[in-house]
Structure formats: C-alpha cells, structure tokens
Structure 1
Amino acid sequence: MSKINKKSMGQFFTPPQIADRLVQLLEQQVGFALDLGCGRGQLGKSILKRFPLARYVGIEKDREHFNHCANLLTEQTIICADVLEEKALSLISDFMPVDTVVGNPPFLEIPISNHLVLEVKDAIPNFLSSGYKMRSEMLFFAKSLKQLKLGGQASFILPKTFFISEQYRYFREHIIDNFSNISLFELPSRIFSGAEVSTCILYFNYRKTKNQQLTLGCIDANGDIENYLKIDSAAAVTRMDFSYHRLMSESGIRIEESETIGSIGGLIHRGNMSRNELVRKSVPHFHTTSFPINEIEISLDDDVKDGIRFGQEGDILLARVGTRCLDRQVLVTAGKRAITDCIYTIKLPEADIDTVIASLSSKYGKLWRQINAKGSCAKYLTKESLLNMPLFN
C-alpha cells in the first residue's frame, strides 16, 4: 500500500520495538488477546513472543494486511472485517470477553453518527461529542473496552491530545475513576514511518482503585523507557503527559498559584497577512526566519502600511508556527515592522515586560511552548496556551 493510501486510512504500523514495549507493559498473563484493526499483525507477533500459550484474535478490514497477518499468525484467529460496522464484533462473539485488549487504531477523523456516539457512550458514559466528526481512536478504544472482562488489562497506542487537551478531560476522568495500575508513556514524534504524530502508550487494569498514583514516562526510539515519575490522580485530570509534569516539577512552579501572561494583562495578536502576500506588496516584514541569533532585543525602522498588523517598540515577538522555531522570541526596543501570520505580538504593561521576556527566554519557557504546541507535523501555538503560560522566574 502506498504512503498516501496509508495516511488517508490513518494507518501507521507499529514498529517492532514499540510493539514489544507495549506488550512488555502487560503485567498479567495473557490468555486471550483482542486487537481491533490489527494491521499486519505486529502486536500479535509481540504477544506470542512473550506469551507463547496466548490466543490472539485480530480484525483487519484491508485485504492485503489481513492476508499478511493471517500468514504471519497461522494458528490464531484473524478476521477480515470493518471494525466500524456493527456486524464485525458479532463474528468474534464466541471469544468474548477477553482478558487482554491491545491496539494501535487508525489515526483519523470519521463522520459522527448517533449510532457511533451511543457505542462510545456504552463504554465511556461521559463521552462528549462535538461537530460532525469524531476520532476513530476513541471508537476503537471504546469497542475494545466493551470486550474486556473485569480485572483484565489493556495496552493501547493513542493520540497525546487525549491526555492533554481540555476537550478530552472527560476521557482522563473516566480512566482515573474506573481503572487501576495506570501508566502512560510518551512515544517519539517520528516513531511511525511517514508521519510525525504525538502518541502515547496507555496501560491499565480494568478495576477501580481510589486515591491511586499514576506512572508517567517516555520511551525512546529503541523502545526503552528513558525516564518516569509518579503523580497523584488529582493532578492527572488536568494533564497526564510526562513532559508537562516533569517540567512543572523541575521548575518548582505550582500552576494554580503562579501568575501567567494572561493574568498580568498580556494581549496577544497574530499577523494578518502571509509572507507571500507581504512580499508581493513589497512590504518589509518580520517572519520566523527574522529572529536574531543569540539576541533577545531588536531595533526596527520600517514604515507600515494601513491595514497591516505590525510589531512596535515594547512588543515581544515570538513564533506562532514552526517545529524548529517555536522557542524563539525577541523584544522590540525601537521602531516597528509588519509581521507575517506566523508571528505573534505580546503587548504587556511596561512594568512586566522584562519579567515576561526573561520567562520566555528561560529553559522552562521554551520547554513550555514545545510541550503545549499543537499539530501533528507543522507545530503551532495557540493564543490560549500562551496566555496560560506561567511566569518562570
């Protein structure tokens, strides 16, 4: 299958070393494992390598991948069917429920329907839908969860946004309220061939535990656990990612007590024209490539035409988009210049300018922006995340 077709179907196959790590996180013996959207069978192969006596059931709709998986796992149950169709799970009803579910579901949006919403709510009652589409990963996870017996275990690759976005707070609450022995490990952004996506491996036991601690960590490209820490469940509701909690721990900042760019009256504006538009108009401009090296101040001396947003004396300029330049910022000490739509200006009370530029320039200020950047490939910062950035003193 071509890379284009794989991407359009949200298929990013699990590298062997990551599949092995996902299976190594399983704490209990595997008797019967279910893998919805099993692809070419890498998770099944890793399960049988560690648990030779396990039984494995995989469902895959792509005929080519189904054939590969069936030939790889000849003594296991592999079914060619579309998990999104109601009849798919009826084909494996004789095997359900299972003691283990695993998965690396397709990463894409699918049209929402009342039927699909009810399916997710059946497993995750506090599920919140919005708009006309939903994440297929949420549906695959919910369908898998419905087939897991009480006391069973799960190990799943899911988007990092499920664990950091306010939109998915309900998901984190459900995990914390209903599961135990929860661990979440961040994966490298380029671990899947042909994609730069932010993902995590979630592991848990299907039983309730009160006042538990969660294990958060990160995994390197070899599948090894690089680092980890433990947090209380109350802290995990807001965010569950290791990067964030390590940053807050190392910086000594308590987010609920700290001042933020927004709380001190900061205002953020984005340029209103692209670089190409400004070039066509022959307007001198400030772009992501304009940041000086090793300097935090800049003097500008250009006139600005009406209708074009600009940065001026007292403004802090910083990159809005660009994976490699999100940690750049500069204070305008004189003059003004048009800015592209890839640049933000931060306007502040004069008394707070030095504090904010120092915070943005600090190790923790740069890490904050990297951790809070959104997007799969071209990373970008939202005004909301910047306004909520604590002042690292």
Structure 2
Amino acid sequence: MKKLEAMKRYRAVKDPRARLGQVMTPPLMADALLRLLGSSGGNWLELGSGSGRLAEAVRNSAAPLSYVGVELEPSMIDLCPRHPGFEYLEHDVLSAASLGCSLEGREFDHVVGNPPYGVHGLPPKAKGRLLQLCPDLEAAFHWTPIDLYFVLESLSRLKSTGTGAFIVGADIPCGAQSIPFRKMLIEQASEIECYELPIKAFGHRVEVQSYMLIVRFGRTTAQHVVLGRLDDEFNVASLRRFGRDLAVQNMVLTHHEFREMDEQLRRASQGVTMKDLGVSIIRGSRSRSEFSQLGVAHFHTSDFRNSGMEISLDGKGSSDYQQATVGDILLPRVGTRCLEHKAIVVSGQGPYSESVFRVRAPAKHQDRVVRWITSDACTGWRKSAAQGACAKHLTVTSLLGMPVPA
C-alpha cells in the first residue's frame, strides 16, 4: 500500500514531462541513434516527439519522404522544426483508438522515439491495448513501464519490412516483466541491437542508465542479438553477439559480462562466499545531512581517497551510531562514480554514513578478505553487481554472496 500511495503522489506532479519522466534527447545522441539504425528514405513516425530533436536528426541524415510526430504538449510542438513533408499531431499516445483515427491507419517504413520512462498507471483501454499488442505481458495493478507501451504502439504501425530505433530505460532490456516482450521481439525481428548508453548521456547533471534499441524486420528471424556499449561520444566501444535464449532473459551487455566473470570467480573460489567466511556487512546508521545537523564527525563516500586505501578515524566511540574501527574495511554503498573505492581503517574509530558499508571479517579470514576486496577483480565485480537505473547501489545480500577466491 505504501508503494502504491507513493506512486499516486508521483503521478500528481503537475509538469507532464516530469510526471512522465521524459528527458529531451541531446542532439549528439539523436544523431547516433539514426547512425546506428542506418535507414533512409521512406515515411517516418515518432510517438512522443517532444521538441523535435529526433525529427531534426531524421531530416539531417535520413532523407525522409515524410515524417509524422505525435506529441501531447502544444508548447513542445511549437518548438519542433518545420520542413516540407513534416507534420505534428497534438495527441495523447495512450488514447490508442483516437490515435489510430488521427493516423488514418497508415503504416510507416521507420519508427523512432525517446519515449517517457518509468512505471505508470494505464487507463483501462490503454491496458487493454498493451495486452493486445503483447498478450503474454502481465500488467498487474495497472502499472507498467510506459516506454514499453510507446515502443509497442510504434512497432504496431510499422510495415513488415520496417525498422525501429528507440532510447529506452532499463525495464525493456533487462526487466523481468518485459521478458514476454523480448521473446516476442526476437521471434519476429530479423535483426536486434541493444546498446548501453553512458551514465551521463543526458548531461552531467543527470545520472540515468538508458539504452538504444535497434530493430529491423524482414523475411528471416534473428538467430542472435547484438549487444554493445557506447562511449561518451556515442561511438561503439564494445560489441558482442548472444544467442536468443540469453537475450530473452537480458539484453544488456554488462549483465552477461558480469555473469561470465561471476562464474569464473566462483570456480576460482570453489564456491566460498563472504557469507561462508563469516563476514559481517553493516550499513551506516545516519545520513550525511543527519550527522551534519547533529554536529557529529563521520566518514562519507566523499572521504574515500582517489589513491591509497589506509585511513585514520578520529571520531569518538558511541553506542548511538554504527562505528568503524581498526581492521574494518569501508565500501561505498551507493554512487555510480565512487563504487570502485575502498578504505581500510588503520587507526582510530568513528561513525560512518548510511551511504557506506562496514565490512568486518573474522581474524582467521582477515587477510583473505582484505586481499580480495582490495583487488582490481573485486572492484570490477562490485561495479558490475551494482543495481539501479539512476545512482547505482550495492546491497548487503549481493555482497555477502560475493565469491572470495583463495
């Protein structure tokens, strides 16, 4: 019930773009999407066209015969580029029946989009439309990834040999509830590519994990899926192929790299984990702001050093807060940019914030745990195991399950 109430409050946000979680497409990202799609000519459709960033990229690089953008907000349509053959319809994409009337049943050669993201409540008719487009989806309690709705609606208006390219959130490529969609897509498409975007792809003030999904349809069906990663300039940095079954479970390259790394480490550790060694992992008891308000000196993620791991604490012992002391290892719990850090307390004691984990090992396993946690391999494991679409975070469960090679 608390989660449902929180979602209701989230939906009460007045700004439609904030409520729907829509972020404008940076021009370089828009250009990269069209470059990776590689389609040109023909008739184009974009549902949720915003201020026309993708429309401009289509015009500049794809020589379209026509382009139709559908956008809910008139103020956004006013910002869209005006070119011959380009038109914009003011429409709610979630109103499927009237959208079909507005588009007059047209089919398109290519569809693109950077749809809204996040989990939202759908009107009953929109939920029915979603299940019509992908019957095996479970839309429990009327909540669903809204970008999935936009992608399905876009693909439904595509010709049988058309192409599509979308900027999407994490739910589509790796969410468990989107497995039926990934399975359906792999069974129908000729080529599928999914690229991880840089965490700062939408600007230095925004941290969000997003992806480019490229789909091409034809007379054959895909036997594999291409998964990759783009660098800060939106060039392909990594690229690998995976079989259909693995891609149905997850279309994120980092996920499969982590799975392979984890399997190798578990063989090297003979199945021994942090939990097996009796390690305790405790999160800090107060936030940074709470400690500051109390005037209590504490260790926070910003105190991790860029070089060197040994630290001294000068706090006072207190039973009011979780304390770190000599021999303890401190790890960041949250923060995409600091997850690789670690620290070993060599003198003193003191409290630490809730953004930090204290790792304490039994004396007989101390050296083994320290060697492992301070290794580059462990850093890579922790960064890959971190969860979250925005600021990445680690959990106690995942760390206790971490293999510890001998």
Coarse TM-score class (shorter-chain normalised): 0.7 to 0.9
Provide the C-alpha distance between the structure 2 equivalents of 1:343 and 1:391, rounded to a whole number of angstroms: 20
Q: Which runs of 5+ in 1 are unaligned?
A: none
Residue matched to 1:341: 354
- AA of the residue aligned to 1:99: D
Residue matched to 2:25: 14
SS in 2 for 1:91: helix
- Whether 1:54 and 2:38 are equivalent positions in the alignment is no
Q: Cα–Cα, structure 1 residues 154 and 332, in superposed 2: closer, same or farther, change >3 Å?
A: same
- Whether 1:128 and 2:149 are equivalent positions in the alignment is no
Residue matched to 2:319: 306
Residues 211, 232 of structure 1: 8 Å contact kept: no
Identity of aligned residues (%): 30
- AA of the residue aligned to 2:186: I
SS in 1 for 2:44: strand
- Whether 1:78 and 2:91 are equivalent positions in the alignment is no
Residues 183, 216 of structure 1: 8 Å contact kept: yes
SS in 2 for 1:68: coil
Q: Cα–Cα, structure 1 residues 266 and 26, in superposed 2: closer, same or farther, change >3 Å?
A: same
- Whether 1:358 and 2:368 are equivalent positions in the alignment is no
Q: Report the alpha carbon displacement of residue 288 of structure 1 after superposing the two structures with TM.
A: 1.9
Residues 48, 115 of structure 2: 8 Å contact kept: yes
Q: Report the alpha carbon displacement of residue 392 of structure 1 after superposing the two structures with TM.
A: 6.8
SS in 2 for 1:328: coil
Q: Report the alpha carbon displacement of residue 185 of structure 1 after superposing the two structures with TM.
A: 1.4
- AA of the residue aligned to 1:201: M
**Residues 222-237 of structure 1: pairs in structure 2 closer than 5 A:** 222-237=233-248
Residues 258, 384 of structure 2: 8 Å contact kept: no
Residue matched to 1:217: 228
**Residues 1-393 of structure 1: pairs in structure 2 closer than 5 A:** 6-26=17-37, 30-69=41-80, 71-129=81-139, 133-166=143-176, 168-193=178-203, 195-206=206-217, 212-246=223-257, 253-254=263-264, 259=271, 260-261=273-274, 266-292=279-305, 294-298=307-311, 304-312=317-325, 315-332=328-345, 336-348=349-361, 350-375=363-388, 378-391=391-404
Provide the C-alpha distance between the structure 2 equivalents of 1:208 and 1:392, rounded to a whole number of angstroms: 48
Provide the C-alpha distance between the structure 2 equivalents of 1:149 and 1:389, rounded to a whole number of angstroms: 47
Q: Cα–Cα, structure 1 residues 191 and 110, in superposed 2: closer, same or farther, change >3 Å?
A: same
Q: Cα–Cα, structure 1 residues 239 and 9, in superposed 2: closer, same or farther, change >3 Å?
A: closer
SS in 1 for 2:338: coil
Q: Cα–Cα, structure 1 residues 64 and 211, in superposed 2: closer, same or farther, change >3 Å?
A: closer
Q: Bigger CA drift: 142-151 or 367-376?
A: 367-376
Q: Cα–Cα, structure 1 residues 198 and 333, in superposed 2: closer, same or farther, change >3 Å?
A: same
Provide the C-alpha distance between the structure 2 equivalents of 1:67 and 1:147, rounded to a whole number of angstroms: 25
Provide the C-alpha distance between the structure 1 equivalents of 2:221 and 2:97, rounded to a whole number of angstroms: 37
Residues 37, 61 of structure 1: 8 Å contact kept: yes
- AA of the residue aligned to 2:318: K
Residues 126, 174 of structure 1: 8 Å contact kept: no
Q: Report the alpha carbon displacement of residue 104 of structure 1 after superposing the two structures with TM.
A: 0.5
Q: Cα–Cα, structure 1 residues 388 and 140, in superposed 2: closer, same or farther, change >3 Å?
A: farther
Provide the C-alpha distance between the structure 1 equivalents of 2:265 and 2:175, rounded to a whole number of angstroms: 16
- AA of the residue aligned to 1:73: H
Provide the C-alpha distance between the structure 1 equivalents of 2:403 and 2:46, rounded to a whole number of angstroms: 41
Q: Cα–Cα, structure 1 residues 240 and 171, in superposed 2: closer, same or farther, change >3 Å?
A: same
Q: Report the alpha carbon displacement of residue 158 of structure 1 after superposing the two structures with TM.
A: 0.5
Q: Report the alpha carbon displacement of residue 150 of structure 1 after superposing the two structures with TM.
A: 3.3
Provide the C-alpha distance between the structure 1 equivalents of 2:216 and 2:135, rounded to a whole number of angstroms: 18
Q: Cα–Cα, structure 1 residues 285 and 142, in superposed 2: closer, same or farther, change >3 Å?
A: same
Residues 317, 350 of structure 2: 8 Å contact kept: yes
Q: Report the alpha carbon displacement of residue 140 of structure 1 after superposing the two structures with TM.
A: 0.9
Residues 328, 360 of structure 2: 8 Å contact kept: yes
Q: Report the alpha carbon displacement of residue 60 of structure 1 after superposing the two structures with TM.
A: 0.8
Residues 44, 73 of structure 1: 8 Å contact kept: no
Q: Cα–Cα, structure 1 residues 374 and 77, in superposed 2: closer, same or farther, change >3 Å?
A: same
Provide the C-alpha distance between the structure 2 equivalents of 1:288 and 1:53, rounded to a whole number of angstroms: 50
> Could you list the per-position Cα deviations for residues 44-95 of structure 1 after superposition, in whole angstroms to 9, with x for gaps in the alignment?
33334444253322101111221333x5234233211111223442234434
Q: Bigger CA drift: 53-62 or 279-288?
A: 279-288
- AA of the residue aligned to 1:222: E
Provide the C-alpha distance between the structure 2 equivalents of 1:294 and 1:378, rounded to a whole number of angstroms: 23
Q: Cα–Cα, structure 1 residues 126 and 296, in superposed 2: closer, same or farther, change >3 Å?
A: farther
Provide the C-alpha distance between the structure 1 equivalents of 2:171 and 2:24, rounded to a whole number of angstroms: 19
- AA of the residue aligned to 1:13: M
Q: Bigger CA drift: 58-67 or 333-342?
A: 333-342
Q: Cα–Cα, structure 1 residues 88 and 36, in superposed 2: closer, same or farther, change >3 Å?
A: farther
